[in-house]
A and B are shown apart, each in its own frame.
Chain A
Amino acid sequence: MSRFRTYRTEGVVVRQMPLGEADRILTLCSPDKGKVRAVAKGVRRMKSRFGGHLELLNRASVAVSMGRNLDTINEASAINTYGGIRADLRRVSRAMYIAELVDGFSMEGNGNREMYALLLRALTWLENASNLDLLLRWFEIRLLDVTGYTPELVHCVECRAWLKPGDHLFVCESGGAICPNCRAESSGALLPLPMNTMKTLRFIQRELAFDKVEALTVPEGIRKDMERLLRTYIRHIAEREVRSAEFVSLTV
């Protein structure tokens, strides 16, 4: 093994933490290497050669050298800085939320091209979308889809029977809705899944692009139901709270 192994990739900066006096530890989500954690030396200095190329949420191409503990970024050049997001606090807080989810769902050394493509699409939509919270719901559903956690909303998650029209319940442990027959035997925590909420979720689940979802008029009650259900389900999968959610709620 040579001493200076380097690789090139691109990624979106989904997390940053200050390190020492002028460095940062960055987490990038990349299409081929999955989660990349690397040090950007001197990035906080005014005259840093990285300038703003490695800002949080930037899509950047990077050259990375592998270290024993942490990798180091040698070169970086921004591909997209998503300027439409940065000047609007509501968009920034939601972008932070998206970045936190992607950070939580990506794995080191294991690229997920579908998730990466989804992240780019979501950030692009976030620059101009008018219904920001519906965008987050669409993103959550799509994210669950590309990471193998698609919520089952058509058949009973226990007995596979088709779910008849009506109000149902959602079981986080099983990742789907259950029919009235299986309800009694289910030991997991149950979340309400009223018929119209289920219909809206099913619609969003079918939409790979956000434009048709954005055109939906979703009543307040259904929006709240969807938010609660998806948040609880994601918390169950990630085994922790999405910390940016509170900041999102402060920036309406």
Chain B
Amino acid sequence: MTTDSVRAAAPVARLADEFSKLPGIGPKTAPRLAFYLVRMPEEDALALAEAIVAVKERVVLCSVCYNIAETDLCIVCANPRRDRTRICVVEDALDVIALERTNIYRGLYHVLHGVISPQNGIGPEDLHIRPLLDRLQADDIEEIILAINPNLEGDATSMYIQQLISPFGVRITSLARGLPVGGDLEYADDITLGRAIEGRQEL
């Protein structure tokens, strides 16, 4: 910690230290959040603390799709109105939330919890790929949508999964690739632009 006031108050410094471990929280934001909590009404602070404890104690992974869940099944898998013939494969649970926000997709998910990154010590066996194959074997699946982030490691993961599931004879699709909304053609790199032209659509 940098400022003397933080250094003086050990519990505040400790809290700021904990905040600084969170993604997106820098050395300036962490003490600011800590001081904000000092001034916060006690019941609000306790509610926050309880919410953190509850997350660690009550959140588990769905036994079917590995999405975050409160019970054995996540809310998607437990919903009888979802289309059970489609599985959308994503990198992590945040991607499920992002896709659910669109209100367009009505099928199920499968959360890998990472991508293949051999240099960082993550091989296929470290991801939840095997249970995906089990689902294909056990259930009547018609389509697998590979919605893994479009970068080299994400694409390698998609291709690897595609290689494993192609013997099952299900339809395999991937998200459309191309220019991000708001992007300018002239700033696009070759890979993005190349895919955008390959994935062009009839109008």
Hey, which bits of chain A sit against chain B, CB under 8 A? 15-17, 20-22, 46-47, 49, 51-53, 55-57, 78, 81, 83, 86, 89, 92-93, 96-97, 99-100, 103, 243-244, 246-247, 250-251
Q: Name the contact of A51 in the complex, choosing from B121, B163, B188 (C-beta under 8 A).
A: B188
Q: In the assembly, what is the distance between CA of A17 and CA of B115, in Å?
A: 12
Inter-chain contact B190/A246, CB cutoff 8 Å: no
Binary A-proximity of B177-203 (CB < 8 A = 1, otherwise 0): 000101100011111101000000000
Q: Name the contact of A52 in the complex, choosing from B116, B118, B189 (C-beta under 8 A).
A: B189
Hey, which bits of chain B sit against chain A, CB under 8 A? 23-24, 116, 118-121, 123-124, 151-153, 155-156, 159-160, 163, 180, 182-183, 187-192, 194
Q: In the assembly, what is the distance between CA of A97 and CA of B116, in Å?
A: 13
Among B118, B123, B188, the most chain A Cβ lie within 10 Å of the Cβ of: B118
Q: In the assembly, what is the distance between CA of A17 and CA of B117, in Å?
A: 9
Minimum CB–CB distance for A56 against chain B, Å = 4
Given A20-B24, A47-B180, A47-B182 in contact, is the A247-B118 Cβ separation under 8 Å?
A: yes
Q: Which residues of B contact A52 (CB under 8 A)?
A: 151, 188-192
Inter-chain contact B151/A89, CB cutoff 8 Å: no
Inter-chain contact A57/B189, CB cutoff 8 Å: no
Q: Which residues of B contact A51 (CB under 8 A)?
A: 183, 187-189, 192
Inter-chain contact A46/B180, CB cutoff 8 Å: yes
Inter-chain contact B119/A103, CB cutoff 8 Å: yes
Inter-chain contact A15/B119, CB cutoff 8 Å: yes
Q: In the assembly, what is the distance between CA of A36 and CA of B121, in Å?
A: 21
What are 28 A-to-B residue pairs whose CB atoms are below 8 Å?
Answer: A16-B153, A17-B120, A20-B23, A21-B23, A47-B180, A52-B151, A52-B190, A56-B151, A56-B152, A78-B189, A78-B190, A78-B191, A81-B190, A81-B191, A83-B191, A86-B152, A89-B160, A92-B152, A92-B159, A96-B118, A97-B118, A100-B118, A100-B119, A103-B119, A243-B118, A243-B119, A247-B123, A250-B123
Q: In the assembly, what is the distance between CA of A86 and CA of B188, in Å?
A: 17
Q: In the assembly, what is the distance between CA of A56 and CA of B150, in Å?
A: 12
Q: Which residues of B contact A96 (CB under 8 A)?
A: 118-119, 156
Q: Which 10 A-B pairs have the closest CB atoms?
A: A244-B118, A89-B159, A52-B189, A21-B24, A21-B23, A56-B152, A46-B180, A20-B23, A247-B118, A52-B191
Between A and B, how many residue pairs show CB distances below 8 Å?
Answer: 79
Query: Which secondary structure characterizes the binding site on chain B?
Result: helix
Inter-chain contact B152/A89, CB cutoff 8 Å: no
Q: In the assembly, what is the distance between CA of A83 and CA of B195, in Å?
A: 11
Inter-chain contact B118/A55, CB cutoff 8 Å: no
Inter-chain contact B189/A92, CB cutoff 8 Å: no
- Smallest Cβ-Cβ distance to B116: which chain A residue: A247
Given A89-B163, A92-B155, A92-B159 in contact, is the A246-B123 Cβ separation under 8 Å?
A: yes
Inter-chain contact A92/B156, CB cutoff 8 Å: yes
- Smallest Cβ-Cβ distance to B118: which chain A residue: A244
Q: In the assembly, what is the distance between CA of A244 and CA of B23, in Å?
A: 28
If A16-B153, A86-B155, A247-B124 are given as contacts, then 6 extra A-B residue pairs at C-beta distance below 8 Å, sorted by A number, are: A47-B182, A51-B189, A57-B152, A81-B189, A246-B118, A250-B160
Q: Which residues of A contact B119 (CB under 8 A)?
A: 15, 96, 99-100, 103, 243-244
- Smallest Cβ-Cβ distance to A13: which chain B residue: B152
Q: Which residues of B contact A53 (CB under 8 A)?
A: 189
Q: Which residues of B contact A92 (CB under 8 A)?
A: 152, 155-156, 159
- Smallest Cβ-Cβ distance to A78: which chain B residue: B189
- Smallest Cβ-Cβ distance to B152: which chain A residue: A56
